[in-house]
């Protein structure tokens, strides 16, 4: 047989609009336009693969391949008559008005029978009298392949001489193979995908690009990146639909290297408006390259990618691109450039991520006071934000020479250090007090730092100095004994005692090696800035709950107090929420700074279903800031569809807060269970839910249930003054006067006037009883 002889495969399927021509021998992998064609799937059999590699040219329906088949020779005398053309499928598709399949069938028959001519008007083909066969074609068109197989078998049983049309069997076999390939792909059985593809190359056409994508993915997942690149390149060389071409490169993004992706991008076409069809993908690739380098300083970024991202950051009024550049420069010890981009992102949207980066850039430039002011608002939004705030606090306190810190700033820093249990910040508070000759205070802070970090030598050194200043000889000796052989300067303190003036400020080196530097901010032991995989700080979880639970409790108490006997000396001043430690921002903040945090993107009402899950979560936080909790809950519901576990956790957390703000505690509890939360956040939600449940039960007059909820909350968190007052009134309504008296006395001992009012109410009731 000659090398140019053509063997035609009948491969038209219901979903196909192209024909595949198999060559007995082709010395090179050539497409119809003469370019090198991607290698076809491997079956695992070297002999079979060698044959399959060089045997297929895919052409569009209705277009003849450039490789011409030899003209059929004139029939020799006595030769067999021309085969009869089976037009069964053509007639059925024409009668059904299915033009797409009709055209595909015409193309297939032309390829099979070069001398065949289709009817002038295929739609006028006389109806087929075989109604049973029509029913079989109908099953095929509906994709009911098992039913079709059964119908064929039943007819062959009832009519032993009947045979189904050959093209019907071929089309059914092809459709079944397609289903098997897709099922194998869904089950990640990639070797099976390649095997089926190699056995049914007629599936690999532009009319069914999904199959081509799956085969390309199978190559990539089985460490055959070159074959995957060729498969994706084949689509770009032969398929013309813009949306499929763009999707092809998008699917290749997570599977191929940047070098291979650049080869695919070189196949892009120019749009009608003069732009390139893959510009959006080039933007995403550049962003990813810069973001990855923002988390790994060893990665290099091409000048083209840097230039593209900088242009995007300047041209597109969004905060994300400048943020990527900020982390890139910060990780490369260029805080000046980092501050420029972080500030641009921060000016566009005051968010935790941009505030974190901006604060770190300021710390690196020895401006910790500005850093503290910048990050303070977001200090409780995430673990990373808390770590940055603690770094700003510690660096502010560690400046040499020391600077004067406003009392208001000190007063807000101290409780933060206590709540975070940050040993380094506590140590720096100790040195700050030491420099002010407040040795008792310094001793307390050094001791606190050692409580949180017992092996902290600088804190032990500070403590031994303060003990010496306070004349505590026994305390000095005890510290020296515990650090014997581990700290030379603590051991030699007695030798230096007579040469140092009392009250002399220690030199900087006496502060120890843990004194903070601008480029190495201190964090909690083991704490790191959170990353989202792209080198950019993770999306913040900061939110507010207004009206707060404390407000609801206060209102409930006020209503209850109005119905109770009162002592006149306590009725002249209106009820105020009891003073208590600063509440955590995420659940208890009582004000919303709409001037700073109101998002530009949620002033109008839109359907959250039109947003991606990640954008829906961002919109949810924005709606919370604008005090639109029910809309926020709907946005967070959309966010729960995210593939990222962290994003789903954020969405569930936000939805729970939204329902709490709306007073829907039951829905809040359900929302909290929709995604796994880290322990600290779960405790936070549990305490808020139990407080809300206690308040609701009290309002409904179910005082025992209110006490039960308060008891459950007390097991996981200290009881606030307002909730203790609520407990007291619950006891009061249950006529448990002694219990109420005990609770009100405890509240009054903190200086709360609510406790005094409660005590007065108990006395008034007892006086009335007597």
85 lies in some domain: no
Q: Which of 209, 236, 271 is where one domain is finished? A: 271
28 lies in some domain: no
User: Do 263 and 286 reside in the same domain of the chain?
Assistant: no
Element (H, E) at 120: none
User: Do 285 and 267 reside in the same domain of the chain?
Assistant: no
Q: Which of 244, 271, 298 is where one domain is finished? A: 271
User: Do 506 and 550 reside in the same domain of the chain?
Assistant: no
pLDDT (tens digit per residue) in 32-75: 333 334 444 444 444 444 334 433 333 333 333 333 444 444 55
139-143, 599-603, 676-680, 729-733 — most confident range:
729-733
**pLDDT averaged over the chain?**
74
pTM assigned to the model: 0.46
In angstroms, the CA 203 to CA 231 distance is 13
pLDDT (tens digit per residue) in 658-688: 888 877 877 888 888 888 888 777 888 888 8
Contact 334, 355 (CB under 8 A): no
Contacts of residue 262, defined as CB under 8 A and 6 or more positions apart, other chains included, come to none
Contact 450, 435 (CB under 8 A): no
Q: Is the pLDDT of residue 527 over 50?
A: no
627 lies in some domain: no
pLDDT value at position 399? 86
Pick from 109-123, 349-363, 584-598: least confident = 584-598
> What is the mean predicted confidence (pLDDT) over 280-307?
87
In angstroms, the CA 213 to CA 199 distance is 17
Residue among 289, 330, 333, 323 nearest 307 (CA):
289
Q: Which of 458, 491, 511 is where one domain is finished? A: 511
Contacts of residue 62, defined as CB under 8 A and 6 or more positions apart, other chains included, come to 103, 107
Residue among 530, 632, 541 nearest 584 (CA):
541
User: Do 374 and 480 reside in the same domain of the chain?
Assistant: yes
Residue among 211, 227, 220 nearest 190 (CA):
220
Q: Is 488 exposed, middle or buried (0-12, 13-18, 19+ CB in 10 A)?
A: exposed
Contact 371, 360 (CB under 8 A): yes
| Enclosing domain of residue 370 | 281-511
User: Do 208 and 310 reside in the same domain of the chain?
Assistant: no
- Using DSSP's 3-state secondary structure scheme, residue 610 falls into helix
In angstroms, the CA 600 to CA 603 distance is 7
Give how many domains the chain has, as a whole number: 3
In angstroms, the CA 271 to CA 684 distance is 53
User: Do 255 and 362 reside in the same domain of the chain?
Assistant: no
Other Cβ atoms less than 10 A from the Cβ of 347: the count is 12
What the block records as the tokens of 258 is 């940047």
> What is the mean predicted confidence (pLDDT) over 436-461?
91
Contacts of residue 42, defined as CB under 8 A and 6 or more positions apart, other chains included, come to 49, 52, 194, 198, 224, 227
Contact 121, 197 (CB under 8 A): no
33 lies in some domain: no
Residue among 355, 360, 354, 347 nearest 325 (CA):
354
In angstroms, the CA 207 to CA 655 distance is 43
Residue found by looking up tokens 């009519």 in the block: 159
Residue among 290, 366, 365, 357 nearest 330 (CA):
357
pLDDT (tens digit per residue) in 234-247: 899 888 888 888 89
341 lies in some domain: yes
Confidence class of residue 83 from pLDDT cuts 50, 70 and 90?
Answer: low
User: Do 202 and 325 reside in the same domain of the chain?
Assistant: no
In angstroms, the CA 366 to CA 548 distance is 38
Q: Is the pLDDT of residue 547 over 50?
A: no
What Cα–Cα distance (Å) separates residue 185 from each residue in 14, 193, 221, 560? 21, 6, 11, 65
Contact 218, 246 (CB under 8 A): no
pLDDT (tens digit per residue) in 65-77: 333 444 444 555 5
Confidence class of residue 147 from pLDDT cuts 50, 70 and 90?
Answer: confident
- Angle at which helix 99-112 crosses helix 88-96, to 10 degrees, equals 160
Per residue, the 3-state secondary structure of 13-78, as one string, reads: CCCCCEEEEEECCCCCCECCCCCECCCCCCCCCHHHHHHHHCCEEEEECCCCCCCCCCCCCCCCCC
User: Do 257 and 288 reside in the same domain of the chain?
Assistant: no
Q: Is the pLDDT of residue 456 over 80?
A: yes
In angstroms, the CA 205 to CA 226 distance is 20
Q: Report DSSP letters for 728-761, one per residue.
A: HHHHHHTT-HHHHHHHHHHHHTTT-HHHHHHHHH
User: Do 309 and 263 reside in the same domain of the chain?
Assistant: no
In angstroms, the CA 693 to CA 698 distance is 8
pLDDT (tens digit per residue) in 409-427: 988 999 999 999 999 999 9
Q: Report DSSP letters for 327-353, one per residue.
A: HHHHHTT-HHHHHHHHHHHHHH---HH
Domain harbouring 457, CATH code:
1.25.40.10
In angstroms, the CA 112 to CA 19 distance is 10
User: Do 260 and 294 reside in the same domain of the chain?
Assistant: no
Other Cβ atoms less than 10 A from the Cβ of 276: the count is 13
690 lies in some domain: no
Contact 341, 354 (CB under 8 A): no
Q: For residue 703, how many C-alpha atoms fall within 13 Å in the half-sphere facing its CB?
A: 14
Other Cβ atoms less than 10 A from the Cβ of 404: the count is 6
Contact 56, 38 (CB under 8 A): no
pLDDT value at position 81? 60
Residue found by looking up tokens 């499929």 in the block: 244
Q: Residue 697, Cα to own-chain centre: how many angstroms?
A: 37
Contact 678, 706 (CB under 8 A): no
User: Do 363 and 494 reside in the same domain of the chain?
Assistant: yes
102 lies in some domain: no
Alpha helices in 349-422 (DSSP H): 352-364, 368-375, 383-397, 407-420
Contact 368, 400 (CB under 8 A): no
8 lies in some domain: no
> For 105-115, b where at least 16 C-beta lie within 10 A, e where not — what string?
bbbbbbbbbee
DSSP state of 216: H
Residues constituting the chain: 770
State the sign of the Cα–Cα–Cα–Cα dihedral 375, 379, 382, 388: positive
531 phi/psi in degrees, rounded to 5 = -125, 155
Strand pairing category for 6-8 and 56-60? unpaired
Residue among 284, 220, 290 nearest 250 (CA):
284
pLDDT value at position 208? 82
User: Do 259 and 298 reside in the same domain of the chain?
Assistant: no
Q: Is the pLDDT of residue 8 over 70?
A: no
DSSP state of 7: E
Q: Is the pLDDT of residue 594 over 70?
A: no
Residue among 438, 406, 412 nearest 425 (CA):
412
């Amino acid at each position: 047989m000659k090398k140019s002889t053509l063997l035609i495969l009948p491969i038209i399927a219901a979903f196909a609009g192209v024909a595949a021509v198999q060559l007995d021998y082709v010395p090179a992998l050539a497409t119809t336009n003469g370019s090198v064609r991607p290698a076809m799937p491997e079956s695992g059999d070297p002999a079979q693969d060698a044959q399959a590699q060089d045997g297929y040219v895919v052409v569009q329906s209705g277009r003849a391949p450039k490789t011409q088949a030899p003209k059929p020779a004139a029939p020799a005398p006595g030769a067999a008559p021309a085969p009869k053309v089976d037009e069964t499928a053509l007639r059925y598709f024409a009668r059904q008005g299915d033009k797409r399949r009709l055209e595909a069938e015409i193309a297939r028959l032309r390829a099979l029978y070069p001398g065949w001519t289709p009817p002038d008007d295929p739609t006028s083909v006389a109806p087929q009298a075989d109604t049973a066969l029509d029913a079989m074609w109908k099953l095929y068109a509906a994709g009911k392949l098992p039913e079709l197989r059964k119908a064929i078998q039943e007819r062959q049983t009832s009519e032993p001489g009947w045979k189904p049309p050959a093209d019907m069997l071929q089309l059914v076999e092809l459709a079944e193979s397609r289903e098997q390939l897709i099922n194998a792909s869904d089950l990640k059985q990639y070797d099976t995908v390649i095997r089926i593809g190699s056995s049914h190359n007629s599936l690999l056409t532009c009319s069914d690009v999904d199959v081509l994508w799956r085969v390309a993915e199978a190559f990539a997942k089985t460490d055959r990146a070159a074959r995957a690149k060729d498969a994706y390149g084949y689509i770009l060389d032969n398929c013309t639909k813009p949306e499929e071409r763009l999707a092809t490169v998008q699917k290749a993004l997570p599977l191929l290297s940047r070098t291979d992706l650049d080869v695919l991008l070189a196949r892009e076409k120019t749009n009608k408006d003069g732009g390139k069809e893959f510009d959006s993908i080039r933007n995403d690739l550049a962003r990813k390259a810069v973001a990855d380098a923002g988390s790994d300083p060893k990665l290099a970024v091409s000048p083209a990618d840097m230039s593209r991202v900088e242009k995007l950051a300047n041209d597109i009024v969004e905060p994300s691109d400048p943020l990527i550049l900020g982390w890139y420069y910060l990780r490369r010890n260029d805080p000046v450039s980092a501050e420029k981009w972080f500030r641009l992102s921060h000016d566009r949207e005051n968010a935790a991520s941009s505030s974190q980066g901006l604060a770190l850039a300021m710390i690196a430039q020895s401006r910790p006071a500005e850093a503290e002011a910048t990050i303070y608002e977001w200090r409780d939004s995430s673990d990373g934000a808390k770590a940055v705030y603690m770094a700003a606090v510690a660096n502010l306190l560690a400046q040499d020479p020391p600077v004067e810190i406003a009392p208001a700033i000190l007063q807000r820093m101290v409780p933060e250090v206590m709540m975070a249990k940050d040993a380094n910040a506590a140590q720096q508070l100790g040195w700050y007090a030491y420099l002010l000759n407040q040795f008792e205070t310094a001793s307390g802070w050094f001791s606190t730092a050692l409580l949180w970090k017992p092996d902290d030598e600088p804190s032990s050194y500070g403590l031994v100095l303060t003990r010496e200043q306070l004349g505590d000889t026994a305390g000095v000796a005890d510290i020296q004994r515990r650090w014997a052989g581990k700290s030379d300067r603590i051991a030699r303190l007695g030798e230096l005692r007579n040469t140092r003036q009392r009250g002399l400020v220690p030199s900087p080196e006496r502060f120890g090696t843990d004194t903070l530097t601008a480029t190495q901010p201190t964090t909690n032991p083991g704490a790191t800035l959170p990353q989202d995989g792209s080198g950019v700080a993770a999306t913040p979880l900061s939110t507010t709950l207004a009206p707060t639970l404390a407000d609801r409790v206060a209102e409930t108490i006020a209503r209850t107090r109005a119905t109770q006997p009162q002592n006149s000396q306590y009725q002249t001043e209106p009820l105020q929420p009891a003073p208590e430690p600063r509440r955590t921002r995420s659940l208890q903040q009582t004000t919303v700074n709409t001037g700073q945090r109101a998002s530009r993107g949620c002033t109008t009402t839109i359907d959250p279903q039109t947003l991606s899950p990640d954008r829906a979560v961002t919109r949810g936080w924005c709606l919370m800031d604008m005090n639109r909790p029910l809309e926020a809950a709907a946005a967070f519901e959309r966010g729960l569809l995210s593939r990222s576990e962290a994003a789903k956790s954020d969405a569930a957390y936000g939805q729970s807060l939204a329902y709490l703000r709306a007073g829907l505690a039951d829905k809040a509890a359900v929302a909290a269970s929709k995604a796994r939360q880290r322990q600290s956040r779960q405790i936070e939600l549990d305490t808020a839910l139990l407080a809300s449940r206690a308040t609701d039960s009290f309002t409904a007059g179910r005082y025992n249930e209110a006490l039960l909820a308060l008891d459950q909350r007390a097991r996981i968190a200290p009881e606030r003054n307002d909730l203790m007052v609520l407990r007291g009134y619950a006891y009061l309504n249950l006529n448990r006067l002694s219990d109420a008296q005990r609770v009100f006395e405890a509240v009054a001992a903190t200086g709360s006037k609510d406790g005094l009012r409660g005590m007065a109410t108990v006395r008034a009731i007892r006086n009335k009883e007597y």
